[in-house]
A and B are shown apart, each in its own frame.
Chain A
Amino acid sequence: AQKVTQAQTEISVVEKEDVTLDCVYETRDTTYYLFWYKQPPSGELVFLIRRNSFDEQNEISGRYSWNFQKSTSSFNFTITASQVVDSAVYFCALNNQAGTALIFGKGTTLSVSS
């Protein structure tokens, strides 16, 4: 069965700290896609990144970076020098076997204080 686990329910940091959000997935597929979404306090869901299983290169976008490791089935998300605006719920997701839907983790609530 496919599954996404975000073991960290809540994380609190102080501004400028680096923080890593963990995502571990389970799938028997050899081709699959992983996603991260952000849900700020306003409630909307914002797409951050998509990564396919054949591309294990780490990705960096400004203060955000993603570490994809097939060997440990993890797709972790790091925010460098966190800011208050990073406070949100972050979801990791995996496409289902048919490629028709996403399986979401339960989310990690990040609180960044000034």
Chain B
Amino acid sequence: NAGVTQTPKFRVLKTGQSMTLLCAQDMNHEYMYWYRQDPGMGLRLIHYSVGEGTTAKGEVPDGYNVSRLKKQNFLLGLESAAPSQTSVYFCASRPPGLPYEQYFGPGTRLTVT
């Protein structure tokens, strides 16, 4: 089992460019999440999905879009990157039911110049 994987691991973008971060999990989890981590801010939820074809906004959704076309994949898109989106992005997944622990990917470090 690879668990939760994220692609790419690092990326540098220029302001205004677009990109998509890919999260994949092989644990057949229903729930998937995208967080961003900034110094002194902890982890903040961007968007999440409770199943294939569903998405919902989290705490800081502005400037991001997501899609969950397949159960195992959760895509995070930045249509027009801004320096404020420089961050480390983490994807996570978990099974449905109780608030079970989330399993995290290794993170993607994104720098927007």
Contact = CB atoms under 8 A, between A and B. Distances in A.
Given A100-B56, A101-B58, A35 B101 contact: yes
B104 interface: yes
A45 B89 CA distance: 12
A35 B101 CA distance: 7
A33 B48 contact: no
A15 B48 CA distance: 39
A7 to B, nearest CB: 13
B99 A95 contact: yes
A105 B101 contact: no
Contacts of A102: 45, 99, 102
B31 interface: yes
A91 B42 contact: yes
Interface of A: 6, 9, 32-33, 35, 37, 43-45, 47, 50, 91, 95, 99-107
Interface of B: 31, 33, 35, 40-45, 48, 50, 56, 58, 88, 90, 92, 98-104, 106-107
